[in-house]
């Protein structure tokens, strides 16, 4: 029976030729016996890992030269779908010739990339990306057995997206540095949530401790609270003039968010801070109107006065607001 008859041509189009070839003809499937390894003066490690999300499981064999910790041979047995077989085969091949410490650095992204026919086209559809996650987990298990430590000791950070190996700290930092506001932006910047999508929100193929929607919400809340605190501190101390430019912009944005922006949005407009310059007498804040506010007659009179008055009250009496 042709593969298109079994699953449909459109589905098979989402798999690389390497994947479909290795599904039926894996190069490293098999096992290594203790006697074989010992006859060559090497140590045998056998590690098992199962993925609860899909019922797949893999057994990894490492034959290691104890004099240099190098993996001289490796084989696998996979109990699961064709994608799991292909991923396990490539994972096994990537291990051969590396030391145990080097092998632990192999990620599922490395496995998926090695399965591609060309660098720009994913090897498997997004919903199958989780099959290659087993590769990283079983490698950690094997390394832990060899070194006599817990497998989790190789994981230094909390991993939110297993598919792209993106950590919690990385996500928080990227959101902050780039002022991200949507899940789509997070995926564009980090690849998190771009594969099996289970880390985006509850309801995916497996339950997660951390979800992108919650991380984005909580990080944005922290950022907003920091802005408000900066504005409050500036108003209380009257020290707006001595702030750095970045601190001043954050303080102005916080006041605008709290007291001004909602009214502009109600009228179909908005504004953004372009620059802040300190002169001998005034601190000039340059703004640009957006949407309906751009070109509105009141934007250069009543609206401008209200914005300036609010910033003077909250931050510094020396502020002057100039539209550009």
DSSP result, 115-169:
T-SSTTS-SS-GGGGGGGHHHHHHHHHHHHHHHTS-GGGG--S-EEETTTTEEHH
CA separation for the pair 47, 58 (Å, rounded): 8
Of 237, 199, 219, 226, nearest in space to 316 by CA = 237
Q: Is 81 annotated as a binding residue?
A: yes
Q: Is 54 a catalytic residue?
A: yes
Q: Is 161 annotated as a binding residue?
A: yes
Q: Is 296 a catalytic residue?
A: no
- By residue count, the chain amounts to 324
Q: Both tokens of residue 309?
A: 């008055």
Per-position b or e across 147-159, b if 16+ CB within 10 A of its CB: beeebeebeeeeb
CA distances from 205 to 73, 123, 198 (A): 34, 20, 6
Please say whether the dihedral angle defined by the alpha carbons of residues 228, 229, 230 and 234, taken in this order, is positive or negative. Answer: positive
**Which one is catalytic: 54, 95, 293, 296?**
54
Q: Both tokens of residue 251?
A: 């303080």
**Which one is catalytic: 95, 131, 293, 296?**
131
Q: Is 54 annotated as a binding residue?
A: yes
8 A C-beta contact, residue 47 and residue 115: no
Where helices occur in 191-317 by DSSP H, the ranges are 212-237, 245-259, 261-266, 302-314
Per-position b or e across 173-194, b if 16+ CB within 10 A of its CB: ebbeeeebeebeebbebbebbb
H or E, element range at 11: helix 9-12
Q: Both tokens of residue 320?
A: 């002057």
Place of tokens 């060559």: 40
* Binding site listing: 54, 81, 131, 161, 163, 196, 199
* Binding site listing for Fe cation: 54, 81, 131
* Binding site listing for [2Fe-2S] cluster: 161, 163, 196, 199
**Catalytic site positions:** 54, 131
């Amino acid at each position: 029976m042709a593969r298109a008859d079994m699953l449909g041509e459109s589905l098979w189009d989402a798999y690389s030729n390497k994947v479909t070839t290795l599904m039926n003809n894996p190069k490293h499937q098999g096992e290594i016996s203790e006697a074989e390894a010992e006859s060559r003066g090497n140590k045998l490690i056998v590690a098992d890992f199962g993925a609860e999300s899909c019922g797949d499981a893999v057994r990894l064999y490492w034959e290691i030269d104890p004099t240099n910790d190098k993996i001289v041979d490796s084989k696998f047995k996979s109990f699961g779908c064709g994608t799991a077989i292909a991923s396990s085969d490539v994972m096994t091949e990537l291990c051969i010739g590396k030391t145990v410490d080097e092998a632990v650095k192999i990620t599922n992204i490395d496995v998926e990339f090695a399965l591609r026919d060309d660098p720009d086209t994913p090897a498997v559809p997004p919903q199958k990306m989780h099959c290659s996650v087993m590769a990283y987990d079983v490698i950690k298990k094997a390394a832990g057995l060899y070194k006599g430590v817990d497998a989790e000791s190789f994981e230094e950070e909390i991993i939110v997206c297993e598919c792209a190996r993106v950590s919690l700290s990385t996500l928080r930092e990227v959101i902050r540095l780039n002022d991200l506001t949507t899940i789509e932006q997070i995926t564009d910047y980090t690849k998190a949530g771009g594969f099996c999508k289970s880390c985006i929100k509850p309801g995916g193929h497996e339950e997660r401790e951390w979800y992108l929607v919650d991380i984005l919400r909580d990080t944005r809340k922290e950022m907003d609270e920091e802005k408000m605190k900066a504005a409050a501190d500036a108003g209380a101390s009257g020290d707006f003039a001595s702030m750095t430019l970045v601190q001043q912009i954050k303080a102005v944005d916080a006041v605008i968010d709290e007291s001004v922006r909602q009214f502009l949005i109600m009228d179909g407009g908005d504004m953004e801070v372009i620059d802040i310059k300190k002169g001998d007498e005034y601190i000039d804040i340059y703004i640009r109107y957006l949407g309906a506010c751009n070109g509105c007659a009141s934007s250069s009179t009543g609206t401008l006065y209200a914005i300036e008055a609010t910033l003077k009250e909250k931050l510094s009496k020396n502020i002057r607001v100039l539209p550009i």
